[in-house]
Structure 1
Amino acid sequence: MRIAIMLRALDEKGGVAVYARYITEELLELDQQNHYFLYYSSPEHLGRYAKFPNVTERMLKRRNKIYWDQVAVPRAGKRDKVDVIFHPKFTVPLLTGCKTAMVLHGAGWFIPEFQNFWKPLDLKYIRTVMPLYCRKASAILSVSQVTTDVFNETLKVTPGKIRTVYFGPGKQFRPVKDPAVLQAVRKKYRLPERYIFTLSKYPGGDRKNIDGILEAYRISHPEIEHKLVIGGKDCHNFLRDYNVPEDGYGSDIIFPGYIDQADLPAVYTMADLYLYPSNMEAFPIPITEALACGKPIITSDQNGLREIAGDAALRVNARDPQAIADAMLQVLLDDALREKLSRNSLERSKMFSWKKCARETLGILESLNADG
Structure 2
Amino acid sequence: MMKIIFDGRVLGNIQNKNMTRTGIFFSAYNLFLEMSRNKDIEVLLYSDVKAFYAIKKYSQYDENFRDIKNVFKYSKLTQWVSYGFWLRMRFLPKNIIEIFFAKLFTLVLLILKRMFCIFDKSNLSKNEQYVFFSPMEKIPSFFHNNDKVIKFTLLHDVIPILGQKHYTLKKNDWFCELFDSINPNDYYFANSVYTRKDFIKYCSSIDANKITVTYLGANENFYPNKDEKKNRLIKEKYHIPQDQQYIFSLCSIEPRKNLLFAVENFIRFVQTYQINDVVFVLSGAHWKEFIKTLQDKIQDLGEYGNKIIRAGYVDDKDLANLYSHSLCSVYLSTYEGFGLPALEAMSCGTPLIASNATSIPEVVGDGGVLISPSDDLALQDAFKKIYFDSAFAKELSLKGIKQAKKFSWKKCATQMIEKMKAVLEQKNLDSKCL
* TM-score interval for Structure 1 and Structure 2 normalised by the shorter chain: 0.7 to 0.9
Distance in 2, Cα, partners of 1:117 & 1:317 = 21
CA contact 1:36–1:56 (8 Å) conserved in 2: no
The Cα shift of 1:57 comes to: 5.7
CA contact 1:176–1:182 (8 Å) conserved in 2: no
Are 2:251 and 1:200 aligned?
yes
1:15 to 19, 23, 27: 23
**Cα 1:59–1:107, aligned 2, differ >3 Å: closer, same or farther?**
farther
Written as runs of structure 1 = structure 2, the 5 A alignment for 1:1-372 is 1-12=2-13, 13=20, 14-30=22-38, 32-41=39-48, 42=51, 43-46=53-56, 48=59, 49=64, 51-52=66-67, 55-56=69-70, 58=72, 76=122, 81-93=128-140, 94-97=144-147, 98-109=149-160, 111=162, 114-121=163-170, 126=175, 130=179, 132-137=181-186, 139-156=187-204, 157-192=206-241, 193-202=244-253, 204=254, 206-222=255-271, 223=273, 224=275, 225-233=277-285, 237=292, 239-242=294-297, 244-245=299-300, 247-372=302-427
Amino acid aligned to 1:253 = I
C-alpha distance after superposition, 1:285-312 (max 9, x if no partner): 1111101001111111111112211121
C-alpha distance after superposition, 1:206-237 (max 9, x if no partner): 11111111211221122233111111246875
CA contact 1:141–1:162 (8 Å) conserved in 2: yes
The Cα shift of 1:56 comes to: 3.7
The Cα shift of 1:247 comes to: 3.2
Unaligned runs of 5+ in 2: 14-19, 83-108, 428-434
Distance in 2, Cα, partners of 1:173 & 1:283 = 17
The Cα shift of 1:254 comes to: 0.9
CA contact 1:2–1:37 (8 Å) conserved in 2: yes
The Cα shift of 1:263 comes to: 0.4
Distance in 2, Cα, partners of 1:259 & 1:234 = 12
Q: TM-score, normalised by structure 1?
A: 0.86
**Cα 1:342–1:56, aligned 2, differ >3 Å: closer, same or farther?**
same
Match of 2:103 in 1: none
**Cα 1:124–1:187, aligned 2, differ >3 Å: closer, same or farther?**
closer
Unaligned runs of 5+ in 1: none
**Larger C-alpha radius of gyration, 1 or 2?**
2
The Cα shift of 1:90 comes to: 4.4
The Cα shift of 1:91 comes to: 2.0
Q: What is the aligned length?
A: 359
CA contact 1:89–1:104 (8 Å) conserved in 2: yes
Q: Which secondary structure does the structure 1 equivalent of 2:300 belong to?
A: coil
Distance in 2, Cα, partners of 1:288 & 1:299 = 10
The Cα shift of 1:96 comes to: 2.8
CA RMSD of aligned residues (A): 3.0
C-alpha distance after superposition, 1:18-41 (max 9, x if no partner): 1111101111112x2332220113
